[in-house]
Amino acid sequence: MKSICVIGCGWLGTPLASFFVKSGYKVLGTTTSASKVSELTEKGIGASVYRLGNDDDSLPLADVYIINIPPSQIDNYPDKLRRLLNAIPSDVHQILFCSTTSVYADEDKTVTEQDVHPGHTLDADEANEARHGTPRSVLLEAEGIMAAHPKTTILRLAGLIGGQRHPVKFLSGRKDIKMPQAPVNIIHRNELIATIATLVDFQTVGEVFNVCASKHPTRIEYYTNIARNSGLPIPEFDESDLRSGKLIDSSKIQKHIGLSLTQIDLRISDSDN
């Protein structure tokens, strides 16, 4: 039986691990909190505490690793990823590394995986703006470290939605929001789990994929509608701002797995399932 280890059992990792349990895999999962181990164990996940960069924590042994540790609030993130990679068994079958579409500059263009490569060093005139506290240079360095392993596939995830998680909660009721005409780049948790499961089934290695829904309504259209449908205060945009912004092209992953990524939801769910 193939074993899968989900490193980082949080909002995404826990339902992902549960999916693999139901699919018949031996599933291991890590958490940074000892109090969460019993909760994961009850779901059939072989849980243990693993904190990135902590030499006192042991990495579980598995055939497949899915690394889902956001870089925000982690000092020396690339170096700690390198130590994690060194701890993975040499006979590993596959490594899936969850990165982010924040590796791309926020330019008015459609971006594909070829626009920036893992490990790319930014020139002095290239934007290095921090997204969620992590500069692009750090994100790209982290990708470069992981991509050096031949069994790694990098997943550049768009904004995550699903259940009760949605960026409209942050925008609701705010005024003078910039870039109303920018395209929305998001991926639903359900479709992301299906995507990852298919990549495991296909044993895909050595690739880089954007993972984003193929629907890209404008920010003003999408967030106005979802706020209204969810009973939230309508966000107000600065409609004099005509800038667009990047549109994430995910045609490569959709062609590879044979699935269409289209779920963007028009209201927030009443539960987090």
Which residues of the chain form beta strands (DSSP E)? 3-7, 26-31, 46-49, 64-67, 94-100, 110-111, 130-131, 134-135, 152-157, 159-161, 186-188, 208-211, 247-248
Question: Does the domain spanning 3-163+186-213+247-257 belong to CATH 3.40.50.720?
Answer: yes
What mean pLDDT, rounded, does the chain reach? 94
pTM here?
0.96
User: By the 8 A CB rule, do 101 and 145 touch?
Assistant: no
Collapsed DSSP state (helix, strand, coil) of residue 122 = coil
Q: With pLDDT > 70 as the criterion, what percentage of the chain qualifies?
A: 98
Q: With 90 as the cut, is the pLDDT of residue 131 above it? A: no
Q: Quote the CA–CA distance of 252 and 254 in Å, as a whole number.
A: 6
Collapsed DSSP state (helix, strand, coil) of residue 148 = coil
Question: In angstroms, what is the C-alpha Rg of the chain?
Answer: 19
Collapsed DSSP state (helix, strand, coil) of residue 54 = coil
* Listed range (40-49, 69-78, 105-114, 170-179) with the worst mean pLDDT: 69-78
pLDDT (tens digit per residue) in 209-253: 999 999 999 999 999 999 999 999 999 999 999 999 999 999 999
Q: Quote the CA–CA distance of 161 and 167 in Å, as a whole number.
A: 8
Q: What is the pLDDT of residue 271?
A: 66
User: By the 8 A CB rule, do 114 and 99 touch?
Assistant: no
86-91 mean pLDDT: 96
Q: With 80 as the cut, is the pLDDT of residue 193 above it? A: yes
* Listed range (109-113, 150-154, 239-243, 267-271) with the worst mean pLDDT: 267-271
Phi (first) and psi of residue 259, to 5 degrees? -125, 145
Q: Quote the CA–CA distance of 131 and 100 in Å, as a whole number.
A: 10
Collapsed DSSP state (helix, strand, coil) of residue 131 = strand
Q: What is the pLDDT of residue 132?
A: 73
Question: CA geometry: angle at 190 spanning 186 and 192, to 5°?
Answer: 60
- Bridge partners, 110 (sequence order): 247
Q: What is the pLDDT of residue 127?
A: 87
User: What residue spans define the domains of the chain?
Assistant: 3-163+186-213+247-257
User: By the 8 A CB rule, do 29 and 9 touch?
Assistant: yes
What share of residues in the chain are helix, strand, coil (percent, to 5)? Answer: 30, 20, 50
Sheet arrangement for strand 208-211: 46-49, 26-31, 3-7, 64-67, 94-100, 152-157, 208-211
Q: Report strand pairing: 159-161 vs 186-188.
A: parallel
pLDDT (tens digit per residue) in 21-55: 999 999 999 999 999 999 999 999 999 999 999 98
Q: What is the pLDDT of residue 273?
A: 63
pLDDT band at 255 (very low <50, low <70, confident <90, very high): very high
Q: Quote the CA–CA distance of 145 and 127 in Å, as a whole number.
A: 21
Q: With 90 as the cut, is the pLDDT of residue 73 above it? A: no
Q: Residue 193 has which token pair?
A: 């789990």
Place of tokens 């998680």: 165
Provide the 8-state DSSP code for 267.
Answer: S
Q: With 90 as the cut, is the pLDDT of residue 183 above it? A: yes
